[in-house]
Structure 1
Amino acid sequence: MDPILYLEILKNFETLLTSKKNYDVIILAGEEQHQKELYAHSTVLRCQSNYFDTAFSSSWAEKRNGKFIFKKPNISPYILEAILRYLYCGKINLADKNGTYILNLLVATDELDLYSLGEYVQEFFIKYQYQFLKNDPIAILEIIFQHETFIKLKDYFLEIICQESDILFGTDNIQALPAQILETLLIREDLALDEIEVWNNLIVWTHGQQPTVRKDPSKWTHDELALMEKTLSHFIPMVRFHDISSKEFYNKVLPYQYLLPEKLRQEILRFYLVGDIKKIGSYPSRTLCNANELNSNIINAKYLALFARWIEKKDKVLKRMSHSFNLLLRGSRDGFGAKVFHERCDNKGATIVVAKIKETHKIVGGYNPLDWEGHCLKNTPDSFIFLFESCDDVNAGKIGRVIEAENAIVCDHSWGPLFGRYHSEFNSNDLSMNDDGKWSSATNAYPNINIPRKFTAEDYEVYQVVYHIG
């Protein structure tokens, strides 16, 4: 159909709405001083919405002087005016609207059974309102979980929180999180949170539900213990205790041991002392990596989630985590020489190298999407180096993506990891480790992200990046 023809028809419908000619519907939108009368035509509304079709044919539809009277105090006039314009001529303008407006519009589409518009608004929200979740995550999640039709938005925001867990976890927000949402997050395998932090947050959340209970578990009365046990018991099976180290268990979990069922306590002791079982409970390790394998004093699961986003060149959330990370080498365990690096890391495919700078809080490293085998330069546009000014702040990371792809990676069996082109004046690549475990940096093939010129690594680790299909 020629657009000229249907655009003319839509223009006529828009004129009908604005002129109010022959209207037979009065909608009282909003309430009290914010209430406004809107005028419409029942034939148009019934044609476009099952909600209105049912309402106009029901015995409870109020009529006054031959006109239908609708009261919608829970929908603002501005929202309802936008919906009416959409119903008459298929137009909706969201470009200049804030997150609150769009979320209220989405709630209204659900109430008025406007499925197509709801899908459109969800997609717009996902594309342009990412930051809105961070501003008030609890309120947004509560609204989303109240509406079964918000599937896209629910999946999207849950994935964001799983990969940027500090939006909720480790903040005051965790105490106000409804139990249903907490459960939904804890059962997910892509939650980027070390398992001991899952436990710590559960304890904080439980205290938030039982604020009269004292913080020190050694001072609990029988009644306080019973309250905490009742509140926490449903979530205990969701903790992957096999991914909590024995030291972490002793320091953080053991003080609360009487919150755990006796059978579970015995299974945990067997896991630590006998070692003949690999998994406790029914839930597998979360997908980023096995936390006992990670067990790093350099990084945690939040870093791995960030690395995964950097690898995919996405500032926001991935569509399901598509990578996991397997530890290949730890300097303090395996050695800092070039030989052990190549023995453990050659022919392993893509890797992430991470190093903690001695006597500082800084972390440096790089991503090689190829491999370390051979004696040559390797060309790739996908490698990067990085620097974190503080190991305690995953948000303090700076990334430098390769500029000279033909000089991205250097493979040399007499050196450890080498990123970028050799700089003869400074006798260094963009990031390099020599055979003695000494590190250096000189900007060449990558941007300058202020990695120190020379430094010693307190420790360094190399992780194999495993890609998952689907």
Structure 2
Amino acid sequence: MTSSFYLNLSKDLSLILDDADEYNVIIKVGENENTKEFRAHSVILRARSPYFKGALSSYWVTKKDDMIMFNKPNIKPDIFNMILRYIYTGELNLTEQLSEDILRLLIASDELLLEELVKFLQEYLIEQRKNWVHENFVFVLNTVCSLTSCKILQDHCFETICFDPELLLASDSFLKLDKDILYDLLERDDLLIQEIVVWDHLIKWGIEQTPGLGSLNCDRNKWNNEDYGALKETLNEFIPLIRFTEISLDDFNYKIKTYKDIIPNQIYEEIERFYYKITKDTLPTIFNISPRIGKLDSKIIKPKLAKIIINWIDKKDSFTLRYKFNLIYRGSIDGISTESFKNKCKGQVESLVLVKVKQINKIFGGYSSIGFNSIGDSLLRVYNGNLRFYHSSDNFVFSFENDEDTQDMKISRVKNHNKAIYDYHTTGFDFGFNSLFMYHDQCLYANNDDFNYESNINTNVIHDIEEIETFIVTKQ
């Protein structure tokens, strides 16, 4: 048996820090009048920080009278004091700290490669300083945009914007958005906003970012070819991210055509063909980006996988219609049982079910254009006692290896249209009798012994359900 005595260890190391006995490093932090020297021990710094392990090597250090001298002018003394105490004792008290200082602490921790502290500070800001982050998310994003270790905080800010973009667009802070952040934002499929609004604000941002334009030259009627050329250069990488097929013909005529000169010729020609249907093949090929799907309230999959499912529903490889997913059932909230599923997911309605299973990081699902149970008699094809089969030519079942991996995805479409859905009292849902079905409350089967669906996801393994969600699917 191994016993741990971390409390006393932390206290002892705290005494070493406070007394700085036999120190061999002097670290000068801050700049101008706000500077301070800290005394430390190289063996502790190198053991606790990969940054110091390299920085205090014989190739980097400057020594004076056998003392290692080190400068960090970009970190404020009060911030470094918290970092040094964390390095020595593993303790950190943020109760009285300003949110701005916690963000500065995060940046400094990233520079010093303190991964544990970086992860903790991101989660602390999101959970304990949520209101401040929401009120200052542009400042937060601009501050951490180049830090790959701060993805948790970046994703939180992006999700905040996507769910309520008016928070960003209603203020002038949008015009100060870093170009890399704006690019990542416009790439997202879950940005819940009309595409013409995206276009309008992109133009405003571009004008503000272009030298010679902005407040100095805001009257477009006075622009010359050089002005348009400068704006085109500013927005060149962003234009292909606009989902032009989501913009109405009127908005195209009044808001897009006026900026024809900043749009690459090939893209603009395709836009015109699409809007005026010059050829039969009106779907674009160069800028063919599928519509944004808005916020997907799923704990099981990411929007990237939702786009693939939409393509499967449309039976297309690229351009898709816009769909809305309305969550009506979640097992962790409503209870994982056949009874709960049937109560929440009944009626003849287009539906999508997603299932995350235990033990392995795998996701199963199925789309039914007719629903799962209590469908009615209009689509009833086979009825014999308790056997009730319903007709659909659009249904399919599928699997993913995890919540965002598209490398090993599989789909099985219905083959026997008259047995697309089996409605039985002991199953929550049942595609094709046994192609994919929920049985005994929390068990998922996918054996397809009756071959009513294609045999691409078949397995003899009986999976335990960890989470299950159902969405009503509607075209917009």
Query: Pick from 215, 220, 238: which aligns with 2:241?
Result: 238
For residue 347 of structure 1, what is the amino acid of its counterpart? Q
Find out whether 1:139 has 2:139 as its counterpart. Answer: yes
Aligned-pair distance for 1:201? Answer: 0.7
Among 286, 291, 306, the alignment partner of 2:292 is 286
Q: Secondary structure at the match of 1:192?
A: coil
Aligned-residue offset at 1:349: 6.3
Letter of the 1:195 partner, please give it: E
Residue in 2 that maps onto 1:251: 254
Q: Secondary structure at 1:168's aligned position in 2? A: helix
Distance 1:81 1:55 in 2: 19
> Are 2:224 and 1:221 equivalent residues in the alignment?
yes
* Residues 73 and 372 (structure 1), Cα distance of their counterparts in 2 relative to 1, 3 Å cut: farther
What code does the residue aligned with 2:260 have? Q
Which amino acid in 2 is paired with 1:45? L
Q: Distance in 2 between matches of 1:215 and 1:110?
A: 40
Query: Where do 1:90-169 residues align within 5 Å?
Result: 90-169=90-169
Separation in 2, partners of 1:217, 1:98 = 43
Q: Hey, what does 1:82 align to over in structure 2? A: 82
Question: How far 1:226 moved relative to its partner?
Answer: 1.8
Residue 268 of structure 1 aligns to a residue in which SS?
A: helix
In 2 relative to 1, CA 247–33 (structure 1 residues): closer, same or farther, beyond 3 Å? Answer: same
Provide the C-alpha distance between the structure 1 equivalents of 2:56 and 2:183, rounded to a whole number of angstroms.
Answer: 41
| Structure 2 residue matching 1:92: 3-state secondary structure | coil
Indicate the residue corresponding to 1:266 in structure 2. Answer: 269
Structure 1 segment 307-456 matched on structure 2, within 5 A: 326=323, 347-348=348-349
Distance 1:349 1:179, change over 3 A: same
Superposed displacement of residue 135, structure 1: 3.5
How far apart in 1 are the matches of 2:250 and 2:97? 50
Distance, in Å, in 1 between the alignment partners of 2:6 and 2:223 is 72
Equivalent pair of 2:164/2:192 in contact (CA under 8 Å)? yes
Question: Which residue number in structure 2 is paired with residue 338 of structure 1?
Answer: none
CA distance in 1, matches of 2:210, 2:159: 29
Question: What's the counterpart of residue 12 of structure 2?
Answer: 12
Paired position in structure 2 for 1:387: none
What amino acid sits opposite 1:284 in the alignment?
A: S
CA deviation after TM superposition for structure 1 residue 163, in Å: 2.0
CA distance in 1, matches of 2:199, 2:349: 33
TM-score with structure 1 setting the length: 0.60
The answer to whether the aligner puts 1:67 opposite 2:67 as a matched pair is yes
**Counterpart contact for 1:63–1:69, Cα < 8 Å:** yes
Distance 2:324 2:182 in 1: 30
Q: Which residue of 2 aligns with 1:277?
A: 282
The answer (yes or no) to whether the contact 1:217–1:255 under 8 Å persists in 2 is: no
> Which residue number corresponds to residue 21 of structure 1?
21
Change (3 A) 1:282 1:8: same
Q: Is the 8 A contact 2:195 2:243 kept in 1?
A: yes
Q: How many residues align?
A: 321
Deviates more, 1:100-109 or 1:213-222: 213-222
Contact 2:106 2:121 in 1 (8 A): yes
Please tell me whether the aligned partners of residues 218 and 255 of structure 1 are also in contact (alpha carbons under 8 angstroms). Answer: no
- Map of 2:425 onto structure 1: none
For residues 248 and 472 of structure 2, what CA distance do their matches in structure 1 show? 23
Determine the C-alpha separation between the residues in 2 that align with 1:192 and 1:63. 57
Matched, 1:194 2:194: yes
SS state at 2:237 partner: coil
Q: Note if contact 2:189-2:303 (Cα within 8 Å) is conserved in structure 1.
A: no
SS in structure 1 of the partner of residue 56 of structure 2: helix
Deviations 1:144-193 (A, max 9, x none): 12222222222222222222212323431222222222111111111122
Structure 1 counterpart of 2:329: none
Residue identity in the other structure for 2:174: I
2:256 aligns to what SS in structure 1?
A: helix
Whole-Å Cα distance in 2 between the matches of residues 272 and 198 of structure 1? 19
The whole-number CA distance in structure 2 between the counterparts of 1:268 and 1:234 is: 17
| CA distance in structure 1 between the partners assigned to 2:39 and 2:93 by the alignment | 20
Q: Deviations over 1:212-233 (max 9, x none)?
A: 4444544432222222222222
Structure 1: which 5+ runs fail to align?
Answer: 289-304, 313-317, 329-344, 352-369, 375-463
* 1:174 is the counterpart of 2:174: yes
Amino acid at match of 2:89: C
Query: Would the alpha carbon gap of residues 266 and 5 (structure 1) be closer, same or farther in structure 2, given more than 3 Å must change?
Result: closer
Return the alpha-carbon distance in structure 1 between the equivalents of residues 183 and 59 of structure 2: 42
Give, in whole Å, the separation in 1 of the partners of 2:264 and 2:85. 58
Aligned to 1:438: none
SS at match of 1:30: strand
Q: CA deviation at 1:93?
A: 1.8
Equivalent residue letter for 2:292: R
Partner of 1:36: helix, strand, or coil? strand
For residues 6 and 230 of structure 2, the distance between their equivalents in structure 1, rounded to whole angstroms, comes to 65
Distance 1:189 1:210 in 2: 27
Q: For structure 2, list consecutive stretches of 5 or more residues without a partner in the other structure.
A: 311-321, 326-345, 353-371, 377-470
- Alpha-carbon distance in structure 1 between the residues aligned to 2:324 and 2:190: 18
Amino acid at match of 1:85: R
**Match of 1:75, SS?**
coil
8 Å CA contact 1:225–1:259 kept in 2: the answer is yes
Q: Would the alpha carbon gap of residues 371 and 197 (structure 1) be closer, same or farther in structure 2, given more than 3 Å must change?
A: farther
What is aligned with 1:300? none
Deviation digits for residues 319-362 of structure 1, max 9, x if unmatched? 7699898479xxxxxxxxxxxxxxxx9622689xxxxxxxxxxx
Return the offset for 1:3.
Answer: 6.3
Residues 170 and 201, structure 1, Cα contact 8 Å, conserved in 2: no
